[in-house]
Chain A
Amino acid sequence: MGGVVSARAVRRVIAGCVAALAVWPLLHAVLAARLGFDPWELFGFAMYALPAGRVQVRVDRVFEGRPVLVGLSGESRTRVAEYKRWRQALGPRLSPDGLEALAKDVLVLEPEMDEIEIRVLSWRLDRDSAMLVVDEESRRYGRSRH
């Protein structure tokens, strides 16, 4: 294998990787701001540059028009945890897993629920005020839609 890759090619591969890493973190910062993913992810060396993003996902059964906290099955909890993992890391725009898909899966796994409400709470530390801020997204999904 020694003679297969020329010395020049070796230098170019290594230098190319170094050059890519030299510019990626700046591009990472721009993309994180535009696309909303957690800057701790995707190898931008922004871990510990800001508080890590935190997402909470809550699935309630809608009973007589009001959300009621009920225990989900193990499979549903696993599904919700998977959604949360992607959402927390990549944000709502890049995450391959959307709320509709989550709702559809939960309704399949929880046949006794006709309607559910999914609340996604995204925690962040506002830099200017240094206060903890929560952005909330809440949607209801009914079995009739699916």
Chain B
Amino acid sequence: MAQAADVASGGRAEDMGRSDAAGWLLARPGPVPDSKIAFVSARRLLLLAVCSEAWFATQVGAYQALGQTHLAVCFTLTACLAAGWLSWQGTRAAVGLALAVALVDGALAFPSNANHQILMWLGLVFVAVADEGRSGDREAAVQGLRWLVVLAFFWAGVQKVIYGYYLGGEFLAFRVSFDPDFASIFRVLLPDSEATRLLSMAPGPGAGPYRADAPLFVLASNLTWIAEIVIALCLLHSKTRRFAVVAGIAFVMLIELGAKEVFFGVLMINLFLLCWSGRAMSRLLPVTVAVYGWLVLAAAGVLPRWGAS
């Protein structure tokens, strides 16, 4: 009888079950007025992401070592992408299969996994368990994905505080010393003498100190974790959500200039848009498809390469 009630209710917003903890959590961070388009767009993004990364990873050592197994994963995920793109009877099975295959592939490549893979895997769980025909399920899945963005950013900021390498600028000074992408961004915040000292340091026992006597540099270092935490918290409130989405996307794009973790960047930008509206994310989908396609072709040597995963 309870099941019939669930189906009959169609999972309307008021049936999100605010009476239980799960319902309370998934009533946040904000309303999902366009749950149908949001859910479908998210499903397409996640299938695209896992499939593209799998093909890209054919050029990565840990996955190359898997040989034919990983190649089979790539083809299976491509089939799942095709089957799961449109909404029909087999969509949910395609998502479920993609999740299972992605998890197996990740387990075989362990410990060479990227942090953002957990976001993709959890996202696929949400989309796989949800019934697209029930609005309550769609909303729950979309809210779950929004929480992934909030938590990823929040914890990324808190971890920087826990480990303490941003408080005095040590991490950034270390990266500037050997990473030209980081150096090109942060060098402007350093006096010439400090920049020269850091860039001339050869890594070896006793090298250092990897610290810069530059207030602007230290400020920028601390603004990094502050921004991550503030953006995450601002996503939770309706009055600050739009600001958080814009700031979050800008922040991710800035990260990409240095870290060049492009798969992470594309995923996060899309999930930020999902925090705004499913329609916004849907509009970006053609660009997302193009970027993922370029990454895969770049890995295969067909197009010029820019960033890593």
Contact = CB atoms under 8 A, between A and B. Distances in A.
Interface of A: 1-3, 5-19, 21-22, 25-26, 29, 39-51, 85-86, 89-90, 123, 125, 127, 129-134
A63 B254 CA distance: 53
Interface residues of B, number: 68
B151 A14 contact: no
Interface stretch (B30-38, B129-137, B239-247, B272-280): B129-137
A85 B203 CA distance: 21
A45 B170 CA distance: 19
Interface of B: 2-3, 6-7, 9, 11, 15-17, 20-23, 25-26, 62, 92-93, 111-113, 115, 117-118, 122, 125-126, 129-131, 133-134, 136-137, 140-141, 143-144, 147-148, 151-152, 155-156, 158-160, 162-166, 168, 170-171, 173-175, 203-211, 259
Given A14-B22, A45-B152, A129-B208, A21 B170 contact: no
B210 A7 contact: no
Contacts of B141: 10, 14
A107 B7 CA distance: 65
Given A13-B125, A18-B25, A46 B163 contact: yes
Contacts of A127: 163-165, 170
Given A18-B144, A133-B205, A10 B129 contact: yes
A90 B111 contact: yes
> In terms of DSSP, what is the predominant structure of the interface of chain B?
helix
A2 B226 CA distance: 43
B155 A44 contact: yes
A132 B111 contact: no
Contact of B17 (A11, A13, A125): A11
Most buried by B among A22, A39, A89, A125: A125
A86 B111 contact: yes
Contact of A49 (B136, B152, B159, B168): B159
A1 B93 contact: yes
B22 A15 contact: yes
B122 A21 contact: yes
Most buried by A among B21, B22, B113, B210: B22
A45 B159 contact: yes
A123 B204 CA distance: 9
Contact of A85 (B112, B115, B125, B151): B112
Given A11-B26, A25-B155, A130-B170, 17 more contacts: A2-B133, A2-B134, A6-B3, A7-B7, A7-B134, A8-B2, A14-B129, A17-B122, A18-B26, A18-B151, A25-B158, A26-B155, A43-B117, A49-B159, A125-B165, A130-B208, A131-B209
Contact of B137 (A7, A39, A46, A132): A7
Contacts of B152: 45
Contacts of A3: 3, 7
